[in-house]
Structure 1
């Protein structure tokens, strides 16, 4: 009986080894994509949703524990005070199972010539080693490049791909950009 069990085990191990050899060598596990974004007026959310629809990524809204004022001028005053104080506004929730994500899009509006301070809070809360970060932002007329560069600066342990800036909620050019950085076929 013991000999039959050993023979059966040997046959099973041989078959498993043969199947492993026949598996495609170049097949990689699918990369998991996270689209983390902060949006005050809805523009960045619109762009993030478009990126998610094209890439199949998971959306994560970066929400402050204390909401920003809903009116424009008071919101800009709070944003300016946060920037001047180098503040780190608290975030409501964390990304679940962070380790499963390989690629992280990080998006925000341009506030006071750069990324809002809540982006600092977000990036300081996670380990980006081994991740690929792709910045994106929404802006009215200027400081796109400075904001994209700030997101890269905040994630030095990550690899980085070329970022994208959208004027307001305009999604024109996003599909071409995603193809250029090899996030779409």
Structure 2
């Protein structure tokens, strides 16, 4: 299992680490070459511009051998109603044929919005499982929800 995630504020990273601890999967942070910021407003404006341009930012690293993984958790925050553009870059740069993708999303008051539908609309030729969606204020207390979600999907590692 691979747990690939993009996180700016750290919320999605916390959920990714919970998933890693509960599944034994390998963590991979999706990091664009060009950083976002330096503050929240600037990051949001950069995200809006990338969305308008349908940009695919260059990533610092990629997975060299995706064939090692059958199940790939993909985590991201809801940015301007969809996944951050670096997540699109990651998904489009790798071969997901015959893999299972398990999405998880952190968000503010607008919920996951179009994030999951946009992921499912990509021609990944993969099975997409039920997503976990966690409100930003609930991230620190989400361990029980993460555990129940993983158990329901059959990915919870026996303690």
Larger Rg: 1
Which residue number corresponds to residue 109 of structure 1?
77
Structure 2: distance between partners of 1:180 and 1:142: 25
2-side partners of 1:179 and 1:155: how far apart? 28
Q: Does 1:66 align with 2:38?
A: no
Gaps of 5+ in 2: none
Within the candidate set 142, 151, 157, 1:179 is matched to 151
8 Å CA contact 2:78–2:113 kept in 1: the answer is no
Give the unaligned 5+ runs of structure 1: 1-32
Deviates more, 1:147-156 or 1:121-130: 147-156
Partners of 1:145 and 1:164 lie apart in 2 by: 13
SS at match of 2:114: helix
Distance across 1 between alignment mates of 2:119 and 2:13: 17
Hey, which bits of structure 1, 4+ residues long, moved more than 4 A? none
Deviation of residue 144 (structure 1)?
1.1
**1:70-85 matches, cutoff 5 A:** 70-85=38-53
Residue 101 of structure 1: how far off its partner (Å)? 0.4
Aligned length: 153
Indicate conservation of the 8 Å contact 1:106/1:151, yes or no. Answer: no
Give the 3-state SS of the residue equivalent to 2:3 in structure 1.
Answer: strand
Superposition TM-score, scaled by structure 2 size: 0.91
Which of structures 1 and 2 has the larger relative contact order (alpha carbons within 8 angstroms, sep 6+)?
2
| TM-score after normalising by structure 1 | 0.79
